[in-house]
Structure 1
Amino acid sequence: MLPALIDLPVSAKSDFDPADMTAGAASGTPGAGPVQTLYAHLRVHPAGAGADAVAWLHGQLAQARALDDALPVDLADLEQWISAQTAQVGAQYRSYLGERKAGAPRRYFASRSHALHFLKAVGPTKLVDGAWLYGTLAHWGDARFLGLIRTYLEELGDGVPAKNHVALFQKLLDTHAINDWQGLDDSHFVQGAIQLALAHHADAFLPEIIGFNLGYEQLPLHLLICAYELNELGIDPMYFSLHVTIDNADCGHARKAAQAVQALLPQLGGRAAFVRRIRDGYRLNALGASTLSVIEDFDLEEELIAILRAKSRHGQNMHADYCRLAGRSINDWLARPEQIPAMLAAMAKGGWIARGQAAEQSRFWRLLQGTHATMFGVFSDYEQQVLRDWIEDAQVQPARLVSHRAQMRAIEQLGGVSARPATPRAIWRHALQASAGAASDLHLLEQHIAELPDKAAAMDTLRQLMAPQLHASPVGLMATRLFGRLLAL
């Protein structure tokens, strides 16, 4: 019995079964590519993707071996290497700040919709943040793994909803209505699938996990710039700012990653092969869509055209015949998606859209917003932002840098989502109310842990609930807190 953990009455028999929490099959997205399909299975029902995940991961490692890496020749020099890398990033960031102070434009995000598109595009990766370390929990009794385990617990926010990385990023997507990342191409799912495959096959890929962790936990320049520019655009940068602090080279994840390499290197045979596999795991970070490639691939007009083409599938027969543009009915324009660029040009020529002016000056915009908006609700918040940015067009009318506080006030005045971040207490209250069964799940977990005969049984139960698909749920958050408390005993 473990009465020190909780102080609740213990029933004669608990109905709690961790397996119930992971039951269910992955729901595939129509038209999804093979990597997204694997990602979906690994994220929802990993037990059903075992052999496929291992085979796919071996294929990714084969690709990674063909790449160069920046690691020192001797891994004993890792801590000095990390210090040098951090100093270089710091110098680059100081240079960036100097450029911005001198009047340079944002380096990454030309507009608010550009930044929101970036968040959506990295969603598949960020929604499994930290997953690659999940398998290390099974080694909680081995002191050599404690640095990796502590890193995983911190990725999970130590069970605090306001600090759980997946919960934080999901809140960001929810706030800006950009949850439709399922339509992304396969390259956007590679990093997430790698993390999930490593998560559920840790015993077979331990050196690769150590190497992947070493690469992932370094502080990159793009993290600092993203946090800075998101803040300028009135988008909560907390998820990125948190990584800036915890990935530090002094006492953070970057240093723990280097220490894990030294702690887990074989002391006798097989050392050279282990090091080669660590390097392969490090190189896995270079596969799939990256932060910079996602940013560079965005084209505002192409994004608007894609949005309108998607709308045309449902709206091509929904307009009255008297709705005409350049002598043709709207239904006619929407009948063939390839006509959308010409339709936009006709709207601008016909006065429906006033490019280079505030969106409110355009007749089409007023159909979406305002007291008599006949198309209210047709476009999501993100889609409206894309349209607004395209109408106002930074190239036609240079963007004026607005303070974060002014951006927040503007959003509130437009009736958008609340700009003030929720307090930890409010987030926790929301998490507990997330589903009707949440309270009973928590009570059952408390009962079940209290009934277990020893620490090993408790840790095994708790780690099952800390899997990538569960840890951000109310019961997963509680399991994380209990696991951390027991780990310290």
Structure 2
Amino acid sequence: MSVVVKQRLLELLQEQNKNFYELFNFFLDGNISCHLKQNKATELLRYELEHIGQSESSLPNEIEEFKRWYLNENTKVCLEYQDYLKKRQEGAQRQYFVNIAQAFEFLIKVAPTKKVDGAWLYSVIKYWHDIEFHELILIYLEELGGGYEKSNHVCIYNNLLHSLGLEDFEYYLDDAYYHNAVVQLALAYAPPEFIPEIIGFNLGYEQLPLHLLISNYELKELGIDAKYFNLHITIDNLANGHAHKSLKVLEQVYKGFKNKDDFLNRVKQGYALNNLGISSTQIIKNLNTEHFVLQIFKKKAQMGQFIHNDQKVIACKTVNQWLGKPEQIADFIQTLINKKWIKLNAEPEESPFWKMIHYPDGKMYGVFTPAERRIIHDWIAGEVSTEALPTNLFKSADLNFHNADLSYLNVAEFDILKQQIAETSHSGLTLNTLIPFLAPHVHHSNIGLWSTQKYAAILFPYLDNTFK
């Protein structure tokens, strides 16, 4: 990391205003100490909790009511999903994703939170000596797949994005899409005083939402590997999954708190933190392929403005002149539509522009990635484009494409850690040595996966072979 970039990230410690994308990278930077991250986490969480309203929480007021409340919420979601399935079986169209482009947009926009899945529980794993927290620790280890890349949630999602060619689309996202992910990362480095808020946040995050069920159904219908979403449906269950464990921890920790009213109020505030940022439901409601295409064109224009010749004039301007100013791109696209270079709501083959970017002999072939072309294809076709992807084209392989940043340079560190663990006979010391390698920025790397396996084997030996 350059000195300039590091200095900018450290300046965030002193800033009241928040750039969530920079904070996202701040917490995921392995070169920044846990001490600095904890300071920033404390400051950020205090600010968020001070400004979040209690009214935003729907949690009950009595600890005895939580299980019934959770069950009622779960039943309500399941009934709504059954109603959805009935409508689909009767011939109704998909509710969320009209086409592949909309599914891609959704996967891109939820990516910041998926890349830190489970992070809010990282701070809890240092309490391994306290059995009251074992259920939360177990949830975190399951989020990490027990140290196996095929089961590690971040690995699964990174692999999905890579297999679809969507891994570089973070540059298209507005800052607000990183807000909730930053909250999760702040909880990851929160000091002990925030335990009630962590429990409350976890309680909300492990609920089964309707959007997860429908997204899983429609993504599979479109030929997209929905393993990540299906996995969360199965493990976040109320019978014996994460939801069950979340309630169990709530009840256990509640008993030990002297001021029980204060504890529940803080649990409610932690629960309400789930509402910060742009939710999956909001993303789905606001899917806008036309706007997404505009962003793709604007990004391409940054380079394209310099390489076109000035012989081609469209509406009194050369292509370079059109591309030279970002604010003109929308008008340029509309001009291409007016001139019939792009024919909306028709087969893309009828649009000369599509032929230029799609076929190897096209003058603009290679300018747009396969994923970008698919988004443009569906935008041109409109509701005409509803077909699924070939099942073998975008299948997410069990390969850890994002194993680590330049992991081959970390071989020495890995060897040192292995030697330290081999020479340590005290289980507690071993666990403490492994904890830094289970952090959100590193748990999905080679050294992190190995460390997770060792940590899980010591604390929960009965889990052996569970994740393999």
Structure 2 length as normaliser, TM-score?
Answer: 0.89
Residue among 97, 120, 133 paired with 1:109? 97
Aligned to 2:395: 420
Cα offset for 1:327?
4.8
Partner of 1:81: 69
8 Å CA contact retained: 2:172, 2:295: no
2: distance between equivalents of 1:255 and 1:25? 41
Aligned-partner Cα distance in 1 for 2:177–2:394: 29
1:480 counterpart SS class: helix
- Please report how far the alpha carbon of residue 183 of structure 1 lies from its aligned counterpart in structure 2 after TM superposition: 4.5
Amino acid across the alignment from 2:460:
A
Determine which of 257, 272, 290 is the counterpart of 1:301.
290
Distance 1:180 1:433, change over 3 A: closer
**SS state at 1:476 partner:** helix
CA contact 2:158–2:401 (8 Å) conserved in 1: no
**Structure 2 partner of 1:6:** none
Q: Structure 2: how far apart are the matches of 1:301 and 1:52? A: 38
Contact 1:38 1:53 in 2 (8 A): no
Structure 1 residues 176, 429: closer, same or farther in 2, change over 3 A? closer
Shift of 1:393: 1.4
CA distance in 2 between counterparts of 1:72 and 1:112 reads 40
**Counterpart Cα distance in 1 of 2:186 and 2:308:** 48
Alpha-carbon shift at residue 186 of structure 1 (Å): 2.8
Select between 456-465 and 172-181 the one with higher mean Cα deviation. Answer: 172-181
Partner of 1:469: 441
Determine if contact 1:438/1:474 at 8 Å carries over to the other structure: no
User: What displacement does 1:293 show?
Assistant: 1.2
List per-residue Cα deviations over 1:251-283 (Å, max 9, x = no partner): 000010000001111436222211111111011
**Mapped contact 2:40–2:186 kept (Cα < 8 A):** no
2:441 maps to amino acid: Q
Query: Is structure 2 residue 390 aligned with structure 1 residue 408?
Result: yes
- Give me the TM-score of the superposition, normalised by structure 1: 0.85
> Which residue of 11, 29, 51 corresponds with 1:63?
51
Q: Which residue of 1 aligns with 2:466?
A: none
User: Deviation per CA, 1:395-429, whole angstroms, max 9, x where unpaired?
Assistant: xx3x54x4x6xx225xx6xxxxx433424xxx269
Assess, with a 3 A threshold, how the Cα gap between structure 1 residues 42 and 104 changes in structure 2: closer, same or farther.
same
1:88 maps to a residue whose letter is K
Q: Please report the RMSD computed on the Cα atoms of aligned residues, expressed in angstroms.
A: 2.4
| From 25, 28, 52, the counterpart of 1:43 | 28
Select between 275-284 and 292-301 the one with higher mean Cα deviation.
Answer: 292-301
Separation (CA, whole Å) in 1 of partners of 2:300 and 2:402: 33
1:20 alignment partner in structure 2: none
Q: Map Cα deviations across residues 259-311 of structure 1 (whole Å, 9 max, x no partner).
A: 00011114362222111111110111111110111122222222222221232
1:52 deviates by: 3.0
Alignment partner for residue 186 of structure 2, among 197, 215, 232?
Answer: 197
Q: Which moved more, 1:244-253 or 1:75-84?
A: 75-84
Q: Which residue of 1 aligns with 2:338?
A: 349
Contact 1:432-1:439 within 8 A present in 2 as well: no
Q: Does 1:256 align with 2:245?
A: yes
1:19 aligned residue:
none
Whole-Å separation in 1 of the counterparts to 2:402 and 2:158: 13
Change (3 A) 1:297 1:334: same
Is 1:358 the counterpart of 2:347? The answer is yes
Which residue pairs with 2:464 in the alignment?
none
Partner of 1:9: none
The unaligned stretches of length 5 or more in structure 2 are: 10-16, 462-468
User: Residues 321, 444 of structure 1: CA spacing in aligned structure 2 closer, same or farther, 3 A cutoff?
Assistant: same
Q: 2:422 is matched with which residue: 444, 450, 465?
A: 450
How many residues get paired?
446
The CA distance in 2 between the partners of 1:236 and 1:139, in whole Å, is 36
Q: 1:137-286 maps to which residues of 2 (within 5 A)?
A: 137-178=125-166, 179-267=168-256, 269-286=258-275
Deviation at 1:318, TM superposition (A): 1.5
Deviations 1:427-456 (A, max 9, x none): 269959973246555443322201114111
3-state SS, counterpart of residue 371 of structure 1: coil
1:41, 1:48 within 8 Å by CA — same for their partners in 2?
Answer: no
Q: Is the 8 A contact 1:79 1:255 kept in 2?
A: no
Alignment of 1:363-402 (within 5 A): 363-394=352-383, 397=384, 399-400=385-386, 402=387
Structure 2 CA distance for aligned equivalents of residues 320 and 120 of structure 1: 34
Shift of 1:82: 1.8
Q: Structure 1 residues 182 and 369, CA, compared in 2 at 3 Å: closer, same or farther? A: closer
Q: CA deviation at 1:221?
A: 0.5
Task: Give the SS at the match of 2:233.
Answer: helix
- SS of match in other structure, 1:67: helix
Q: Does the CA-based 8 Å contact 1:442-1:478 persist in structure 2?
A: no
Structure 2 letter corresponding to 1:172: L
Does structure 2 retain, via aligned residues, the 8 Å contact 1:33–1:186? no
In the alignment, is residue 332 of structure 1 matched against residue 316 of structure 2?
Answer: no
Percentage of matched positions with identical amino acids? 34
Q: 1:480 aligns with which of 444, 452, 459?
A: 452
- Residue identity matched to 1:64: I
Whole-angstrom distance in 1 between the partners of 2:343 and 2:36: 53
Q: Is the 8 A contact 2:61 2:264 kept in 1?
A: no
Contact 2:357 2:364 survives alignment (8 Å): yes
Could you tell me whether the CA contact under 8 Å between 2:404 and 2:442 is conserved in 1? no
